[in-house]
């Protein structure tokens, strides 16, 4: 009897404690609500003070990544780091979309291979993000380091040459990369696109970038940022299914190739400004790079694909640019392609890297011997 009373007393005590806690948690308390509002405002003020280009350049590239494949956040941070931490080595910079990322197994490994084959240390920089437009690449080109020697490979893929203001204007209006780039602002002006005028405050100027990453802004400082994942193992372990080809890849390729005739001219002009920007700012050699392309695309759309290649070749000739299409040199066969333009896995990428090194070594040697070691 006494035990049961004590038990009853205990549970009533627990109930009181629980109810006191719940009361504090749920019942709005004016000061708490006011303080929360003030804290939220202060939070934004602190963020706007904290996030500066200098701070970004000094932070790890994954700091603001929403998930491990947030290549836009990664490329943003990487670009700022390039400008700030200019490495004295020979530099190779590959700018492109996912096809560029999936053609390379390891930028660090590639840099080491190049260093071994050359008489000077070299570093390979992969500056790629899904569906990167030439506008984005132009913005990144503002961040290429000055005063070093090297090669800049720029993707002239089908995807790059078929962007248009009608279909992709948002990429120019509201860029995916958070870069302060004079070249990019010029593109907006040339296209008559009303981008927000830069206020000088990094956070507010790139609020689209940050607001899309609310989870990263709030939780990455507490639980750590996701690790940058260069290759997706799931993609690497499976070919695109016939159904996926039918529903996804063929319509995209067909649509893009259909648009090439009308869209290429404006993109070629952006590419021209890219080349001029790199030549005038960094002095590095520019190479036009054609991403890998599945032989079926060539076979299925011979005329349109031929037209695309002519456009690229003419531009390369006009600008005196080397044009690299390495599929044959790499000995790629159908099994090396996961889909239209992405290579399948480490072995396919190793073949591709070998062909790339074979092209890069003579170019870098020429640069070294014509100007002396940097």
Partner 1 sequence: MKNRVENGLVWVGRTLQFLGLYMGLVWAFMELYAAKSGAQVFRYAGF
- Paired with 122 in beta bridges are 90
Q: Which two tokens stand for residue 175?
A: 């860029």
Q: In the stretch 156-175, what mask flags binding to partner 1 with x, by CB under 8 A?
A: --------------xx--x-
In the complex, least distance from residue 40 CB atom to partner 1, rounded to whole angstroms: 4
The residue (of 29 and 346) whose beta carbon lies closer to partner 1 is: 29
Choose, by CB under 8 A, the member of 8, 15, 17, 298 that binds partner 1: 17
If one asks whether residue 70 binds partner 1 (CB under 8 A), the answer comes out as yes
By C-beta, is 61 or 90 nearer to partner 1? Answer: 61
CA distance 298 to 290: 13
Cβ nearer to partner 1, comparing 21 with 49: 21
Of 10, 15, 37, 255, the residue at the interface with partner 1 (CB under 8 A) is: 37
Q: Return the residues of window 208-247 that contact partner 1 according to CB under 8 A.
A: 208-215, 217-218, 232
Shortest gap between Cβ of 36 and partner 1 (angstroms)? 4
Stretch touching partner 1 by CB under 8 A, among 25-33, 309-317, 320-328, 349-357: 25-33
Gap between the Cα atoms of 338 and 367, Å rounded: 35
Contact between 130 and partner 1 by CB under 8 A: the answer reads: yes
Q: Which of 6, 14, 20, 358 binds partner 1 (CB under 8 A)?
A: 20
Identified binder of partner 1 from the candidate list 40, 190, 298, 333, rule CB under 8 A: 40
Sequence-ordered list of residues with C-beta below 8 angstroms from that of 216, at least 6 positions apart, any chain: 64, 65, 66, 70, 73, 225
**Window 263 to 302, contacts with partner 1 (CB under 8 A):** none
State the nearest-atom distance from the C-beta of 79 to partner 1, in Å. Answer: 16
Query: Is 23 one of the binding residues for partner 1 (CB under 8 A)?
Result: yes
Among 10, 16, 333, 334, the residue binding partner 1 under the rule CB under 8 A is 16
Shortest Cβ 212–partner 1 spacing (Å): 4
Give the residue, chosen from 1, 2, 3, 25, that forms a contact with partner 1 under the rule CB under 8 A.
25
**The one among 1, 4, 5, 28 contacting partner 1 by CB under 8 A:** 28
Site track 140-159 with partner 1 (rule: CB under 8 A), x = hit: --------------------
Binding residues for partner 1, total number by CB under 8 A: 46
CA distances from 111 to 23, 266, 307 (A): 61, 34, 34
Buried b (16+ CB within 10 A) or exposed e, 150-182: bbbbbbbbbbbbbbeeeebeebbeebbbbbbbe
Cβ proximity to partner 1: between 38 and 298 the closer is: 38
Q: Which of 6, 10, 15, 36 binds partner 1 (CB under 8 A)?
A: 36
Residue 120 interacting with partner 1 (CB under 8 A) = no
Q: Does 46 bind partner 1 (CB under 8 A)?
A: no
Give the span between the Cα atoms of 359 and 112, in whole angstroms. Answer: 16
- Footprint on this chain of partner 1 (rule: CB under 8 A): 13, 16-17, 20-26, 28-29, 32-33, 35-37, 39-40, 43-44, 66, 69-72, 98, 130-131, 170-171, 174, 176, 207-215, 217-218, 232, 342
């Amino acid at each position: 009897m006494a035990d049961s009373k004590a038990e009853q007393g205990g549970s009533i005590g627990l109930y009181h404690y629980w109810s006191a806690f719940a009361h504090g948690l749920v019942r709005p308390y004016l000061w708490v609500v006011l303080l929360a509002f003030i804290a939220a405002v202060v939070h934004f003020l602190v963020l706007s003070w904290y996030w500066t280009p200098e701070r970004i350049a000094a932070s790890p590239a994954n700091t603001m990544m929403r998930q491990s494949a947030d290549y836009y956040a990664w490329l943003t941070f990487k670009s700022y780091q390039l400008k700030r931490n200019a490495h004295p080595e020979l530099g190779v910079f590959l700018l492109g979309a996912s096809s560029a990322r999936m053609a390379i197994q390891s930028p660090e490994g590639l840099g080491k291979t190049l260093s071994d084959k050359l008489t000077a240390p070299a570093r390979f920089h992969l500056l790629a993000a899904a569906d990167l437009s030439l506008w984005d690449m132009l913005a990144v080109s503002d961040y290429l380091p000055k005063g070093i020697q090297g090669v800049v490979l720029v993707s002239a893929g089908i995807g790059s040459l078929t962007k248009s203001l009608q279909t992709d204007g948002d990429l120019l209006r509201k860029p995916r990369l958070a870069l302060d780039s004079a070249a990019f602002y010029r593109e907006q002006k040339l296209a008559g696109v009303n981008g927000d005028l830069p206020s000088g405050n990094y956070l507010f100027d790139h609020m689209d970038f940050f607001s899309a990453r609310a989870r990263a802004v709030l939780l990455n400082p507490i639980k750590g940022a996701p690790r940058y994942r260069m290759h997706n193992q799931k993609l690497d372990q499976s070919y695109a299914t016939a159904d996926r080809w039918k529903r996804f890849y063929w319509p995209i390729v067909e649509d893009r190739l259909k648009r090439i005739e009308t869209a290429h001219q404006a993109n070629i002009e952006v590419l021209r400004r890219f080349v001029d920007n790199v030549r005038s700012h960094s002095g590095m050699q520019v190479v036009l790079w054609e991403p890998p392309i599945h032989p079926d695309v060539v076979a299925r759309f011979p005329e349109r694909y031929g037209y695309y290649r002519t456009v690229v070749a003419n531009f390369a000739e006009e600008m005196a640019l080397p044009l690299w299409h390495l599929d044959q040199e790499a000995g790629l066969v159908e099994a090396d392609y996961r889909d239209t333009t992405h290579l399948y896995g480490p072995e396919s990428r190793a073949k591709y890297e070998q062909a790339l090194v074979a092209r890069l070594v003579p170019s870098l040697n020429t640069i070294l011997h014509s100007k002396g070691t940097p």
